[in-house]
Structure 1
Amino acid sequence: MNYQWYPGHMTKARRMMQEDIKLIDLVIELLDARVPFSSRNPDIDKMGRDKARLILLNKSDLADEKSNEAWVAFFEAKGYCVRKINSRSGAGLKSINAAVLEACHEKIERDKRKGIKNRPVRAMVVGIPNVGKSTFINAYAGKACAKTGNKPGVTKGKQWIRLNKGLELLDTPGILWPKFEDQSVGMRLAMIGSIKDEILNTDELALNLIRFLMEHYPGRLTERYGCEETAQEALTVYEEIARRRGCIKKGQELDYTKTGMLLLDDFRSGKIGRITLELPKGETEEQ
């Protein structure tokens, strides 16, 4: 299936960001650590090319650690300041202040030469829907200062948030790009929940996830569901999971939709283990 989702409010948000980015010093970009490439919006690089950059690999607790380190090295090699965080638990958040100073070192030194002292760094927090921006801001600020939700598209308008005398944050709605040139990018975003489940073919998505896990994380499905993976087709494994989890309709018919949502929910919550869906090019062939 084709993965497309570009509601009208995202077009408005993009125009708003183009104006607001003129006001800020630093772009803080949240990526999902399970899909750092797929969860990057190429528009951000274009709009923020003259700004200091800080990349936060959020939900790093859900991605496998070896892959996390590979992505940190990848982005650092490109000149970005990078940190691994988990906004929900607060892991890694204590390193953000130092990271902001590191990313904005040139700006701060430039201000000093001009005799400008104690001007706060103004940062824009950006990221695609459901990447955890509002949860990050709330956790970083230590209070519920941005509305949060577990569905994409909760943040609709911009908010300036003063964290301390040295830093102000501009929250922005999550935006996707109008067209996925690579449909595998759309598929990965659908797997992590950045595209609304209501418009997806859950069966196809779940089958693709099963195929990926059997190839790259063998044994995880057996460990979680007790199903046989060896020499099995993805559909056979899918059906076995349905039986073992009691996803049965009247007449003993398998409930594929219920099984698919169960599988996706287990993946998204980390119940199948720490899984990364893609690695930097050069580390391995793109998955």
Structure 2
Amino acid sequence: MMDFSGKTAFVTGAANGIGLGICRALARNGANIALADIEPAQLEIARRELATFNVRTRAIEVDVSDAAAFERAADQAEAEFGNIHFLFSNAGVTLGAMPLWEVTPAQWEWIFGVNVQGVVNGIRTLVPRMRKHGEPGRVINTASIGGLQVNPKLRNGSYAMTKYAIVALSEALALDLEDSVIGVSVLCPALVNTTLHSSSRRRPVRFGGPYERPSSDAAKAWQSAGLPPDDVGMRVLDAVARSEFFIFTHEEPRTWIEERHARILAGFDSIARYNASEPAT
């Protein structure tokens, strides 16, 4: 079982939602925390709350899609705490339900910039530093249950595309680190009560700036009915302590994944039928 007490975690998307839930769980377990987020005011509020747990904290404003900015954030964290042991790449955004042909080039750059390149920047920046100090640690990448299937009700294809990438990235990283003391996990939550639906208000100017994304009352109600972020934080730390790779937050999506798996197997059954019916050449 992995111990968090006295270790240091770097958490992106830490100002609210799942990121803050993870930070609270870390604080309760005695970890020092570098909170990284693009919202400075909300980030400082979160830092002050976590400081009441008598752990060391540092708020670092950063746009995770900016590689140079991530490097500077890592430098600040190391200057404050020394060695980083845990990287929680949790920052994410969504465009909501919209047909893929309606997604603009700027929107594609933003959602892939944060959801995929932000995780890549974390790995490129911090994993070499973690390997260099040689102490046990773990990289935890937040994907989504949407990283394993495209939900026909949510119709959130652009978001799912980025989260599929994070699942593959995490599987590849686990292979790259299999002979090291650094483990890898991928968090695939289902519905959680977060501010993800309002992420358009946090879009950086270089991607077009903040905007109001239409959101139906049904979508907001569905989101608010999700699991509390603090519950997710506790679940994540339990799984990390046990060195689990896939971290799920709900049991119900198992059926969704089984249905997708059945479609994949049907494709293999089809090629087997085709090959069996073809004369040898």
Using the size of structure 1 for normalisation, the TM-score is 0.37
Which of the pair is proportionally richer in helix?
A: 2
Larger radius of gyration: 1
